[in-house]
Amino acid sequence: MIQYFSMLLIAIGIYGLLSQRNLVKLVISLNIAEIGVNLFIVSIGYIEDGLVPIISSVNRTSSLVFVDPLPQALVLTSIVIGVGVTALALALIITIGKTKGSIDLTELGSSGGDDE
């Protein structure tokens, strides 16, 4: 069930990328798609009635059934890289807004394509 909805989130993110004109809305749609992808990757490793993958004084041995820890390690990296990409994209959009005067794709496209 979670897997179907995470793929629906990815589709909604792609719809936002195709249909929006404001540059900040494009970055927001990209972030929504990234949340969907991270949910899907963690849901691959889920085992029914599995335990949290930490050896502690409650779960003492390593022969119990743990949830798969490898997709969680990959998603940790993916979340942090998503924040880095968002910050750099927003810095670029601020610079475009300062020099060109607007952050709308149709206005940017029609005025800046004359010098071939």
Partner 1 sequence: MSVFSAIICIAMVILALVAIESKRLLVSVIMLSAVGLLSVVLFVMMKAPDVAITEASVGAGLTTAIFLLSLRKLKRADAA
Partner 2 sequence: MRRLIAAIISLLFFLMLITVLNTETEDKAGIPAYGDADLSSRVSERFVTKSVNGYDGEIVYGVTSDAETGSANLVTSIVVNYRSFDTLGEVTVLFISATGVGLLLGGGKKRIVEEIKVSPVARLASRIVTPLLLTLGIYVFIHGHLTPGGGFPGGAIIAAAFLLMMLTDEKRRAPSKLKILEGYMGLTYVLLGVAGLLISGSFLQNFLPSGTIGELLSGGLVPVVYSVIGLKVGAELSGILDDLACEGSDES
Q: Interface with partner 2 by CB under 8 A: which residues?
A: 1-4, 7-8, 10-12, 14-15, 18-19, 43-48, 52-57, 59-63, 65-66, 68-70, 72-73, 76-77, 79-81, 84-85, 87-88, 90-92, 94-95
Spatial separation of the C-alpha atoms in residues 24 and 97, rounded to whole Å? 11
Per-residue mark of binding to partner 1, 95-114 (x: CB under 8 A):
--xx----x-----------
From the list partner 2, partner 1, none, which binds 105 (C-beta under 5 to 8 Å, kind-based)? none
Q: Measured at the alpha carbon of residue 91, what is the angle toward residues 30 and 39, in degrees to the nearest 5? A: 25
Instruction: Examine residue 28 and tell whether it contacts partner 1 (CB under 8 A).
Output: yes
Per-residue mark of binding to partner 1, 44-83 (x: CB under 8 A):
--x---xxxxx------------x----x--xx--xx-xx
Spatial separation of the C-alpha atoms in residues 93 and 101, rounded to whole Å? 11
Which residues fall within 8 angstroms of residue 37, CB to CB, at 6 or more apart? 6, 10, 78
Burial class (CB within 10 angstroms; exposed 0-12, middle 13-18, buried 19+) of 36: buried
